[in-house]
Amino acid sequence: MQGVSTSRQLMADKQAQGVFSWRRRNFLIAFLFVVPALINFTIFRYLPILAAGRASLHNYSLLGGYRGFIGIDHYTRMFADPTFWNALEVTGTYVIMKVPLEIILALALAIFLQREAFGAGLVRSAIMAPLVTSIIVVSIIWAMMYHSEQGLIQSILNAVGIPRQAFLSNESRALPALTAMMIWKDVGFSLIILLAGLKGIPATYFEAALVDGANKWQAFRNVTLPLLKPVLMFLVVSQTIFSFQLFVPVYQMTKGGPLDSTKAIVYYIYQQGFLFQDMGYASALSMVTLAILLVVSLFQMRLLRSDY
């Protein structure tokens, strides 16, 4: 009997070893698929962040290299720099204007387009086209459309009896004009994500809500929105991060003007690092911007966290 129990134990140990080796083999295969992404993030994300953190503590320029350790002097200078605070305010205003409007518009379009009505494919294609168009091309075209004398938008305004309006050269209209362009450019991305989220909600939930006497608005508020919360969290966080990186439209269309009304934080970092050759200060600005993004993203994820 003892020999039989021993052999059974040996067979169980072999089976367990086989299971663990199978798990280990699958883990290794999965890890090999992840390795290229890890290498990419290490080379193009994590190492540059470490390099920027080091540069922010030195007098550093692209031409002169490291010229001495100065500690937190760049950070002290930053908090006394009114242009930095203005750039941060411009960026925050842009994010607050763009992200909610884009997601609301994308949600309305997604609800409309989830029904396979006639022409829905054509509408989807028209919305997706700006998404795959180069941002520099979009910026050039919209700059011509916004032209105060010969732009297309001015022609439309004149046709309905509205006098010519200055957009990019007006301090109060320049940033909203850029925001409108970027919503048009990026709404397709949010639409794709929201359409996928809506397709993933089982129809039985809506049927149960209608049986209980809920109307369409109540079903949307009590069924659709709660189940879309994870998708909305992803969109809010990702679009906030993308919006903080506003650069190309500012560079191409306004150069931060008029009167610094469109000077976003990334454009200010570019000016300090590449135009003024103060890469140490630009690195400090980058590190603070990264810290702000991390705090904002964590707050958004906690606020929009879902239990579903």
Taking only the tens place, the pLDDT of each residue in 258-275 is 999 999 999 999 999 999
> Are 234 and 194 spatial neighbours (Cβ–Cβ below 8 Å)?
no
Residue 229: which of 301, 306, 297 has the closest Cα? 306
Q: List the single range of 15-24, 144-153, 188-197, 224-233 with lowest mean pLDDT.
A: 15-24
Residue 61 lies in a domain: no
Alpha carbon distance 167, 113 (integer Å):
32
Alpha-carbon distance of 130 to 192, in angstroms, equals 13
**Model confidence at 308: pLDDT above 80:** no
Q: Highest mean pLDDT range out of 8-17, 218-227, 263-272? A: 263-272
Q: Domain range holding 157? A: 74-303
Same domain, 156 and 259: yes
Residues 222, 144 share a domain: yes
Residues 7 and 138 in one domain: no
Closest CA to 235 of 182, 193, 196: 193
Q: What angle do CA 38, 53, 244 make, to 5 degrees?
A: 75
What is the enclosing helix (H) or strand (E) of 247? Answer: none
pLDDT for position 220: 84
Judged against a pLDDT cut of 70, whether residue 4 lies above it is answered with no
Tens digits of residue pLDDT in 99-108: 999 999 999 9
Q: Among residues 179, 181, 170, which one has the least CA distance to residue 145?
A: 181
Assess whether 159 and 226 both reside in one domain. Answer: yes
For position 119, what pLDDT does the model report?
67
- Domain shared by 219 and 297, yes or no: yes
Mean pLDDT computed over 187-200? 91
HSE value, Cβ hemisphere, 13 Å, CA-based, for 138: 19
Residue 137 has pLDDT above 70, yes or no: yes
The Cβ of residue 142 has, within 10 Å, a number of other Cβ atoms equal to: 25
pTM: 0.86
Residue with tokens 């997706």: 128
In one letter, which amino acid is 177?
A
Is the CB of residue 236 less than 8 Å from the CB of residue 304?
yes
Task: Summarize the confidence of residues 75-103 as an average pLDDT.
Answer: 95
15 pLDDT above the threshold of 60: no
99 and 232 together in one domain? yes
Query: Is the pLDDT reported for residue 216 higher than 90?
Result: no
Residues 49 and 99 in one domain: no
CATH of the domain at 82: 1.10.3720.10
Q: For residue 66, which phi and psi values (nearest 5 degrees)?
A: -75, 125
| Domain count of the fold of the chain | 2
**Which pLDDT score is estimated for 193?**
93
Mean pLDDT of 30-55: 90
pLDDT at 13 over 70: no
In a domain, 308, yes or no: no
- Tell me: do 120 and 86 sit in the same domain: yes
Residue reference for tokens 């129809």? 203
Let me know whether 146 and 217 are in one domain: yes
Residue 27's pLDDT is 84
Mean pLDDT of 219-243: 90
Is the predicted pLDDT of residue 306 greater than 70, yes or no?
A: no
How high is the pLDDT of residue 7? 58
- Residue 172 near residue 261, CB atoms below 8 Å: yes
Q: Is the pLDDT of residue 97 over 90?
A: yes
Predicted pLDDT of residue 203: 82
64, part of any domain: no
In the chain, the percentage of residues whose pLDDT exceeds 70 is 91
| pLDDT value at residue 61 | 83
Tell me the average pLDDT across 58-73: 87
> Does 235 map to a domain?
yes
pLDDT, residue 104, reads: 94
* Residue type at position 160: V
51 and 92 part of one domain: no
From the list 164, 173, 185, the residue with the least C-alpha distance to 254 is 173
pLDDT greater than 60 at residue 1? no
Measured from the Cβ of residue 250, the count of other Cβ atoms closer than 10 Å reads 24
